[in-house]
Structures are given as C-alpha cells and as structure tokens.
C-alpha cells in the first residue's frame, strides 16, 4: 500500500463511508451473521457502524437474509 493510504468501507446499515478501522466487520458463516472482531475469518466481509440502529438494519436487510437463508437458517438475535 502507498504511504498514507486509508482503506474506506461503506456501512451496510446507513451507507456512511469511513475508514476500515472504524467499522465492524461481519461475515455469514454457516447461515449465521457473525462479527469478525480480528478481521481474519474467511468469507466476504460486510462492514457496519458500531451504532445499534445500523446493526439492527444490517440484520434486517434483504441481502443478509438471502445469504443466511441459503444455509436454511435465519439470523440469530444474539449474534449481531
């Protein structure tokens, strides 16, 4: 990476763009939306602000429901 480059990511809850370090990373593993605290889990990452409303919107979004339904399960309340 270039010196001074800061990767930007978009919150899937509110659409705000921000530095990757400020947003939480989630993945869908085995049909469950899981927070990736260290950023090393395999899978396509989904980024979200650390605000309760953004996290709730993320859990309710149609794209996330489609990903979790493929495995035959819905999102679990305690995982988000």
**15, part of any domain:** yes
State the CATH number of the domain containing residue 24. Answer: 3.30.1230.10
Contact (CB, 8 A) for 76 and 32: yes
DSSP 32-78: EEEE-SSS--SS--EEE-S-HHHHHHHHH-HHHHHHHHTTT----GG
Q: Is the pTM of this model over 0.75?
A: no
Interstrand relation of 46-48 and 24-29 (parallel, antiparallel or unpaired) = antiparallel
Per-residue model confidence as pLDDT tens digits over 44-56: 889 999 999 999 9
Least confident of 31-35, 52-56, 68-72: 68-72
For 26, the domain range is 8-72
| Total domain count, the chain | 1
Which residue do the tokens 């993320």 mark?
58
Per-residue model confidence as pLDDT tens digits over 54-65: 999 988 888 787
**80, part of any domain:** no
């Amino acid at each position: 990476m270039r010196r001074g480059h800061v990767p930007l990511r978009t919150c899937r809850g509110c659409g705000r763009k921000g530095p990757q370090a400020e947003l939480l990373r989630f993945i869908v593993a085995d049909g469950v939306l899981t927070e990736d605290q260290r950023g090393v889990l395999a899978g396509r990452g989904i980024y979200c602000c650390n605000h309760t409303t953004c996290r709730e919107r993320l859990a309710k979004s149609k794209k996330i429901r489609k990903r979790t339904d493929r495995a035959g399960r819905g999102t679990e309340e305690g995982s988000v």
